[in-house]
Chains A and B, each alone.
Chain A
Amino acid sequence: MSVVVVGAGPAGVRAVERLVAAGLRPIWIEEAPDGGGRVFQKPPPGFSRGHRALYGADHGRAFALHAALAALKPLTDWRPDTLVWNLRPGDLDVVSDGTHERLGWERIILCTGAMDRVVPIPGWTQPGVTSLGAAQIALKTQGLAIGRRVALCGTGPLLLLLAQQLTKVGAPPVLVLESAAWSTTLRAVPGLAWNPAAALRGMAWRAGLKVQTGAVPLRVEEGCTALRWRDSRGWEHRTEVDAVAMGWGLKPETQLADLAGARFAFDRLQRLWLPERDAAGRASVPGVYLAGDGASIGGSVVAELAGTRAALAVLQDIGEKPDPLETTLLDRALAREARFRRALERAFPYPHALAAAMPDETLLCRCEAITAAEMRASAAPEINRGKAATRVGMGRCQGRLCGPPAAEVLAQAIGCDIAEVGRLRGQMPVKPVVL
C-alpha cells in the first residue's frame, strides 16, 4: 500500500505517527529542510534559543511535536527539501535540489499548511513591507526584527501575538492596527464559555500594547518611511516607520488539492474557496485526504487532531479497524474546536470592503505588477476570465497573494456576489521549478 503524506507540520506529523503506529511506512515529503511547519519551525543549526524562548506558551506542544518528528523520520521514507509540484490520480512529481522523480500513490494525505491573507495597499511591494507571518519567522528562525520602527496591521490572533512577541524582546511595534472593531469582537461569540477574541485583547492590554481597533492601513510611502492609516472614526494619520508587516488571517495552500481534482465550495465565514471534505478529512476525490490549515484554517491544535483523524480515515478505507472510541473522541474534540474557530472568524473577519475599494493605482498583483484599475477595467464576468485579460494571478505565485483581493475587486466592479466570480484555478507546477 503506497501512502504519501505531504507536509511535516502539526497535521503531517500526527498523520504519519498514526500510520506508522498501524504498521505502515508512508512516503513523507516536506518542502522545507526540516519539519515543524511554520508554527513550530526551527531555526537553522547554530542558533541557541530553546523551545520556551522560541514558541512561548506553546513550547510544550512544540517540543512534543519535534520529538515525534525525530522519532518518525527513520520509520518512513522521509524526503525533506522536496517540492511536490504536480499531482494527478495515482502519481505525483517531486523535485529535490534539481533532481526530478515521479512517485506513485494509492492514498495521499495533504497537510500543506497556510500563508498570510493580504489586502494590497499602495506601496506594499517595497522592501521593508512583509507579511505578519514573515515578521514572525524572521524573529523566530533568524533572530531578526524587520525594522526599528515597525507598524503591524491586520486582524486576529497572529497580529496581537506578534505585537506581544516583539514587545517581549525589546522591539515593540510603534503602531498596531486591528481592522476589526471592538463591537465586532464582542458580538462574535455568544454562547461560548469564554470569549477567545476578548481574551486575546485582554492579553494585549496587559502586555501594555496600544492597539488601534477598527483601523486600517492606506498607503506605504515611498521608501517605506511612513505609513498612512485611518482610525475607526475616519480620521487619517501618518506615522513614521521603517517597516510594515500586514496580514488579515490566513489562507490555506490548496493548490495540490486543486490539481488532484478535489471539489471546492465557497466558505462564507472565511470568505474563501475551500476543498470539500468530510468530518474525517476525505476529499471529494477517492484516495485524497486533507488535514490542517491546508484544508481550512483552524490553527495548530486542530491541525494535530485533524492529522490523526485523516490517518484513521486512511486506515478505515484500507480495511483496518481502528478502535471506534479513538475516532469518536477525535471527532468530538474537532467539533468543539470548530465552534471556537467560527467565533474567531466572526470576531476577526477579512476586511473585504477595504480590499474591494483599494485605490486604482494599487499593485494588486505583485508578481506581474498589475494594478487594481486593470482588473476593474477588464469587467470580466468571472475571475479566470479576469486573469486571462489582465494576467492577475498568472505570475510566479499563482495568485496565492492576489487571488482573494482580486476576487473582491472584480466582484465590486461588476456588481456581483463574491461567490459568483469564482476562484482562480490551480496550474502545475504549483511553484516555479527548473525542468
Chain B
Amino acid sequence: MLDPKGRVVMVSGAPRGVGRAIAERLLDQDRPVVDFFLDGAPAQARAGDTLLTAILAGGHGHVRHSEFGDGPRAGFCWMGACQDCFVLVEGRGARRACGTLLEPGMKLRRR
C-alpha cells in the first residue's frame, strides 16, 4: 500500500462527496458491478450491496442530512432499529438504506 503522506493524491471515481470512503470494501467483493443514480448523478456499486453500502463504500459520505440542522447522518445501527438512514428511492418512497438491497438503475435521492 502506498503511503499518501507528503504526496499529492488525486482521488477519482467518486462523482459526489469526493473523499474517503466511510466503509472499506474488504472481503467478498468479487461481485458484478451495478449502476445506479445518486442525486441524479451516475454511480456504481456491487450486486448484493445494500443502499447504505452502495452510498458509503462508494465514497459519498452520508445518506441524509438531519432535519434539525446538526449535519450529515449515515445511519448508526445497520439493523433497522435506529431509523436514521432513510433515503428516497424514486418510485418507491423512503426506504431504510441499511435493509434495502440495491437494484440496477435505482434512483436514490438524499435529503
A366 touches B76 (CB 8 A): yes
**B contacts with A, residue count (CB < 8 A):** 44
CA distance A366 to B81 in the complex (A): 13
Complex Cα distance A250/B26, Å?
Answer: 26
| B59-74 contacts to A (CB < 8 Å) | 61-62, 66, 68-74
Tally A-B pairs: CB < 8 A: 138
B20–A242 touching, CB < 8 Å: yes
A268, chain B: closest CB distance, angstroms: 25
Q: B13 at the A/B interface (Cβ < 8 Å)? A: no
User: Which residue of B26, B61, B75 is within 8 Å of A171 (Cβ)?
Assistant: B26
The verdict on B90 contacting chain A, using a C-beta distance below 8 Å, is no
Q: Is the CB of B79 within 8 A of A397?
A: no
Residues of A within 8 A of B82 (CB): 115, 131, 366, 397, 400-401
Measured between alpha carbons, how far is A368 from B67 in the docked complex, in Å?
Answer: 8
Minimal Cβ-Cβ distance residue in B for A31 = B80
Interface size class of A (residues with CB under 8 A): 35 or more
Q: Identify which of residues 111-143 in chain A touch chain B, using a CB-to-CB cut-off of 8 Å.
A: 115-116, 125-131, 133-135, 137-139, 142-143
Please tell me if the beta carbons of A139 and B74 are within 8 angstroms of each other in the complex.
Answer: no
Q: Does the CB pair B22–A143 fall under 8 Å?
A: no
Q: How far is the CA of A128 from the CA of B98 in the complex (A)?
A: 14
How far is it, in angstroms, between the C-alpha of A30 and the C-alpha of B98 when the chains are bound?
Answer: 16
CB distance from A230 to the nearest CB of B (A): 23
Shortest A127–chain B CB gap in Å is 3
Give bound CA distance, A171 to B26, whole Å: 8
A324 sits at the interface (CB 8 A): no
**A210 to chain B: closest CB distance in Å?**
21
Cβ of B23 within 8 Å of any chain A Cβ, yes or no, is: yes
Cα of A31 to Cα of B101 in the assembled complex, Å: 14
A191 at the interface (CB under 8 A from B): no
Cβ-defined contact, A147 with B24, below 8 A:
yes
Q: Which of A44, A116, A143 has the most CB of B within 10 A?
A: A143
Question: What are the interface flags for A288-324 relative to B under an 8 Å C-beta threshold, 1 for contact and 0 otherwise?
Answer: 0000000000000000000000000000000000000
**Contact partner, B70, options A46, A242, A363, Cβ 8 Å:** A363
Binding site for B on A (CB under 8 A): 31-33, 38, 43-49, 115-116, 125-131, 133-135, 137-139, 142-148, 169-171, 242-243, 253, 363, 366-369, 395-397, 400-401, 431-432, 434
Shortest beta-carbon contacts, A-B, top 4 = A127-B74, A369-B68, A134-B78, A396-B83
